[in-house]
Structure 1
Amino acid sequence: MEHDVARSSLLRRPMLALACTLVCQLVAPTIAMAGGPDPRQYMHGIGAVPATTVNTFNVFFSASGLPPRGADRSGSWPHDVYVAQWHADTGTLDAPHLFIQKPEAQEPVTVARNRAGHVMVSFEDGWNAPENVTQRYGIYDTALRPIKPYPQQVESGGHSGHITAVGDRFVVFYSDGWVNGGGVDNLGSGNGVYVKVYDGHGKLLRSVDVAHDRREWWPLVAGGATHALLVWQEFVPGQTEANLKIAIFDPVSGRITGEQVLHKHLQYYTYSVAWLPAVERFLLVGVAKGNGFADLIDSAGNVRASIPCMPATVREAGIAVNQRTAYTPAADGRLLQLQAGPDALTLSGTLMNTDGKPVHWRPVGSVGLLRTSGALDWLSLTEKGLEPLRFDPEKAQAANAADQCR
């Protein structure tokens, strides 16, 4: 149900979260690294939007310095937000520069561009946050000049936000509150997911409860022509796997329809979503029951086609779209190639990095960008810095029986 713009959360996390110290693991679980440090302390969160120059994109990412330093001596995560221009004609990535710099961490960054060319940048912020963290945002023009610049507040205590644009409106989907215990490493869960809608100048238009005061969190959103697809995970008592839920959101009316559990036995946090304009469908990929899956969903929330079993995908990895073809990383070091129609979805092939070696994908963020030549550049966050990768769709290998299921 809708709520007042000034709603405060009923339950806050008792300890400093993602943006601040090593107890940041309360917001999202430690990534299993065979006893190693959580890789998110180095870099976490990446996104890209078109820039003013044709065939040029602004790539935003959060990092603890360049090269990334990781947590400081006190255990705090010192992430700032950086931006670099990537050129589709040449595949060149310009030197990154600081975009937002404050004490504590501003991560993971998420970015969207609306129909008018305005850019929203949002992230969970540990700086000057009376309730440990807060979801904040800023709005800029296409040249990244301020319209309503950071620090603007989505929700004090809000976290794990993800944003998109539908027409001229921005949709911010975020979590709020925390419940200790259960889930991955017994670290607990978020306690609700919520939506706020803003116009292109940062004015709050609407605030909607999606799952209020319930153990549901890690929200992702993709913007379509008129609606947005909301995706999030639901805590299941006594299990170390989640339910994956979806719903359709109309940013004009604020109406939510088609809420459903789409997958059970979800691998926590391992899902991603994108809009495919050429077929007017949403694409959802993830991992459940140990295998990858993909679903093609229309703007009414109906699943039009599915791949029930394919290679596992990668946590926080992006989906690159080229007309009816989509690409996303596979946990085994390849790139998956999916072919979509309005009512059809197939795993049509797999790609190797042009050096022929499997990629050691990191679970902290990556984004794929299409070059004018047809090649794919993939920018992957790692503990050592931003890793540029290149794939050639002309050399895709046909998917085999082992790729379809195991």
Structure 2
Amino acid sequence: MNFEYSDKVKELIVQVRDFIDNEVVPAEPTYEEQLAKNPWETPPVLDQLKEKAKAKGLWNLFLPREHGDFTAGLTNLEYAPLAELMGRHHIASEAFNCAAPDTGNMEVLAKYGNAQQQEQWLKPLLEGKIRSAFAMTEPEVASSDATNIETSITRDGDDYLINGRKFYISGAMRKSCEIMIVMGKTDPDNPNRHQQQSQILVPTNTPGVTVKRAMQVLGSVDAPEGHAEVIFENVRVPKENMILGEGRGFEIAQGRLGPGRIHHCMRLIGASQRALELMCKRANERVVFGQPMIKHGSVREDIAKSACEIEQARLLTLKAADAMDRFGNKEAKDLIAMIKVIAPNMALRVIDRAMQIHGAVGLSQDTPLAGFFAYARTLRLADGPDQVHMMQLGRNLAKQLG
């Protein structure tokens, strides 16, 4: 594996870093002020950032090069350092149109959508004009096993009828969310449990779609994104909204989640690195018991351990990204599972140390640490719990090595 980035990527790293430093960071106070006034509206300053990023060509950097005209032409490995930079600031990913869940949904439509679906929904998503949601998780079943999903998708003439209840549907609270990809069962009696599910496009303004409430995440509604509970009652959409075909839902989900998982890990590396830098700054500046904090052995150890753990996770992230590029997402699944377990747990440890060194302010809104911590803790569940990744990884390794 070659760790030396091309001149193109080196230049993009400089451009992305400069844009974040000169445009995103100065806009953060305004973003928070505007968000407080209209929690589910995209703050206007963020739309302005998106236009600036688009004008500079720093746009849709996440989409792999096989998608042709839709993409900046980067590999997963090339995108990794850019996503890490974005992960250092809460609003940076969206400023570059590289924020979940849109990234995963755009990949689904680019990879599996037909021409009409791409024109109607992928194009405005790529342009950053609308937002989207991915509706899979349900409150009544263990959704970490996607074959449990109970929402029904029933053919009715030239339409499909959808009935079910979803929750923690990221992005569905936002007023600019216009489309959901909904996973449900079209063939619940199929003996092959992995061919029972399908994925279908449901505009959020379709009659029968009710956004019931915002689910909290560690006490926060996480505006403007939000994580909604959504009810589908006899929701009718045309048959043309089916993605790829009936019974292909599990296949689509697996294709979607691989890149999504590693993108989260890339961003977590950036959040952890920033936490480490804040930790070092605090330790150098703060005086406790008559001397700078950095003079205390336990503080030095926390900094050293954090740096070691971040670098370990960074290298594994890059190895997984490289394997995805060279062998495909399916062949890289074990490495993706490894980093999906390693990165959030590493981030929680590093961020927790940074919070501890900051004292009470580390729990407040005056640093990004509390938000980073909530994000990292969420990712021990989002896109699959640790236990599921380890169960499947252990099974695969036992088969390969036993």
TM-score under structure 2 length normalisation: 0.24
More helix by share: 2
Higher Rg of the two aligned structures: 2
Q: Relative contact order (C-alpha < 8 Å, sep 6+): which is higher?
A: 2
TM-score under structure 1 length normalisation: 0.24
